[in-house]
Amino acid sequence: MAIELGLFAKTALASRFTDWAKQYGPVFPLRIGSHGLMVVLTSAYHATHLLDKRSANSSNRPPSFVLGDLVFAGDHPMFMDANERWKLRRKLYFQLMNEARCNTEHIRLVEAEATHLLRDLCLEPDSFMQHPARYSNSIIMSLVFGIRTPHYSSPHCIELQRIVTELSNLGEIGASPPVDWLPFLKYLPERLWGDWKTRAARLRQRVLNLHSPLVDRVLERRKNIGTAATFLDGVLDRQEKLQLTREEIDIMCGNLLEGGTDTMATTILTFFQAMVTYPEVQARAQKQIDSVLTDGECPSWSDYDRLPYVAMIVKEVLRWRPPAPGSFPHTLAQDDEFEGMKFLKGTSVVLNVWGIHNDESRYPSPETFEPSRFAEQTRLASVYANAGDAQKRDHFGYGAGRRICPGIHLAERALFIAMAKLLWGFTVQQKLDSSGNPIPVDVNPATAYRDGFLNQCLPFDIDIKPRLGRQEMIMVAAAKAENDVLSAYE
């Protein structure tokens, strides 16, 4: 099967892969150009065996001239092979976001920022599309630099979102010539293909202009005040051993911001879409929360086991509209064989998350938002990801194998806490037009999201209002969170 150049410029690639899987089977090859070979996995069983159980052989990355080389100059972990440089970065990331630290050190920050999110929605409900990005960005900014994002209009938050959108757009198939498969196209005059080299060069400068001043602020603080318990401080304290260049440090910190901001914000916006579209789900969750918590009590991480339906909602949001529906390709380090299928060294392996999440044999009526499908899988996603059992896996929203999202423990907690508090504090419903008619929210996967690598929500309207008696409680809790936790950060 051959792919015509530019075929996917305006097409949902993961959806096309899913259609092909129905025709050619859950594992099918694609030949791109003269020598590029890709295998698409639209099966939890094959993903588990080839990416999880054989992760030692399936954790490399394919060439990425545009993003990996032109934008990040080989310093971004997402585009690195699974070599020693990549392993070091993953080790540092896991040291920051491992489960123990999330439970004992980071949870107070997440709880406080989630309470601040509720406050933001009370004060500026019409800006509901911006508040989740502030929430997610402030958590990761605080952990990496010790610097909060107090408002969605904070310049670094706005610029980061713009950069992530441009990365997603520039990384989309069709946005640049397929130089990784047909290298001679590097010499094609760029005016014939959307000035892709100029776009990449400008994006690189924007990335450095965003991250370098944040690193400078930490260096200045260390000189004038001293060290703090942040990711960057930990790296700088070990710099004599690590021997990282300044640009490597900038990009490594930036990678955490990119990965920790947009995907979580998009997931919360998708949660809003689902609650408006399926009000019975929202009502059932609120009923469970009200039955478990006493008057004046707001949900917290300690309530996870008492609120299983909220846990199911988190999982269903990630299944229904995964933030990265196509995943980023893995590459085989050596030849491999599985169940009679031979895979050559250098083959790119794509985890078709969208296709797996819409497999009717695995998730009946997949287009319907139905949290109860996870009634027997209410433990954290990391538990099922580590089990190595395709049948027990809840979803693939965090990826698979050694390339699984290193922030899975932090994300699981931040998403549950945010959604539980939002359900406790607010009711979301369709907005009314000037004639009093409800305005439907578009949740069509083909029209409700931006084209690109990430599944970013296009603007939509909802009506979000505090539940009876909640606003006063939220404002009191937000003031306490500011005084007890958030004031410790810049």
Interior/surface letters 378-415, b for 16+ CB within 10 angstroms, e for the rest: bbbbbebbeeeebeebbbbbbbbbbbbbbbbbbbbbbb
Structure tokens, 228:
């703090």
95's enclosing H/E stretch is helix 84-97
* Secondary structure (3-state) at 328: coil
In sequence order, which residues have a C-beta less than 8 Å from that of residue 413 and are 6 or more positions away? 102, 103, 106, 107, 110, 301
Q: Are 324 and 353 in contact (CB under 8 A)?
A: yes
Nearest Cα to Cα of residue 18 among 371, 405, 359, 477: 359
- Number of helices (H) and strands (E) in the chain: give both, helices first: 17, 10
Interior/surface letters 148-157, b for 16+ CB within 10 angstroms, e for the rest: bbbebebebb
The number of beta carbons lying within 10 Å of the beta carbon of residue 210 is 19
Q: Alpha-carbon distance 252 to 24, whole Å?
A: 39
Structure tokens, 484:
């007890």
Q: Is 405 annotated as a binding residue?
A: yes
Helical pair 408-425 and 470-484, crossing angle rounded to 10 deg: 140
Q: What is the DSSP letter of 69?
A: I
Residue stretches of the annotated binding site for heme: 405
Residue stretches of the annotated binding site: 405
